[in-house]
A and B are shown apart, each in its own frame.
Chain A
Amino acid sequence: QKEVEQDPGPLSVPEGAIVSLNCTYSNSAFQYFMWYRQYSRKGPELLMYTYSSGNKEDGRFTAQVDKSSKYISLFIRDSQPSDSATYLCAMRFTGFQKLVFGTGTRLLVSP
């Protein structure tokens, strides 16, 4: 079993749709949770982050962590064609710098 599971997609939605991206994980010791966005032929860039459980909102993006279910989500409201990219969840333990990534979900937003 992988430490972090993420549906690779692709996920195709029309412009303006609400997008839900998800990851599940197996190790309850993960404390830091991140979402990275990766455009084609570019390195990942940090999009959202949360510590432990709870929600965090930033503009059109909302990150949720449910530690009891070992489940994290990223919601994108009013999706735009420029949101088309691969979204990777990542997490780490307290005191450790190593990031553990999901496989990434490819998102396609059509005009």
Chain B
Amino acid sequence: SAVISQKPSRDICQRGTSLTIQCQVDSQVTMMFWYRQQPGQSLTLIATANQGSEATYESGFVIDKFPISRPNLTFSTLTVSNMSPEDSSIYLCSVEWSTYGYTFGSGTRLTVV
């Protein structure tokens, strides 16, 4: 399976600022996925990032708020823009390595104050 390095592991940010989260994969993958995990709620897919094309966003998530970059087959970034306390959550990236196997990064725990 793939190994994902995600950083930062945690951050405390002021409202109105932006944070960029990075994910590095140890092998080339076509798609990378970004999830949000809020307390007491299920992991929710934010967007799917393909290399060389615009990311595909799920209902309720927009590019202006969560811009994504995918410059190559091993790297992606998610930016949380103009943050508010409601954005406090854990953000995870993921890749698919088989029909059943999705590997996740260790997550970025974001607190907005």
- Chain A contact residues, CB within 8 Å of chain B: 2, 4, 6, 8, 32, 34, 41-46, 49, 88, 90, 97-104
Contacts and interface: CB of A to CB of B under 8 A. Distances in A.
B99 A32 contact: yes
Contacts of A102: 42
Contacts of A2: 42
A93 B49 CA distance: 19
A111 B101 CA distance: 31
Interface string B17-45: 00000000000000101000000111111
Given A97-B31, A98-B45, A44 B104 contact: yes
Interface stretch (B61-69, B72-80, B81-89, B105-113): B105-113
A61 to B, nearest CB: 14
Nearest to A89: B42
Contact of A43 (B48, B99, B101, B107): B107
Chain B interface main SS type? strand
B55 interface: no
A32 B100 contact: yes
Contacts, number: 56
14 contacts: A4-B42, A32-B99, A41-B107, A43-B6, A45-B103, A46-B100, A97-B33, A98-B48, A99-B102, A100-B42, A101-B42, A101-B44, A103-B42, A104-B42
A47 B42 CA distance: 17
A4 B6 CA distance: 27
B96 A41 contact: no
A63 B15 CA distance: 43
B100 A43 contact: no
Q: Most chain-B Cβ atoms within 10 A of its Cβ — which of A49, A100, A103?
A: A103
Nearest to B9: A41
Given A43-B94, A44-B104, A97-B31, 16 more contacts: A41-B9, A41-B106, A42-B106, A43-B103, A43-B105, A43-B106, A43-B107, A97-B33, A97-B48, A97-B96, A98-B33, A99-B102, A101-B43, A102-B42, A103-B41, A104-B42
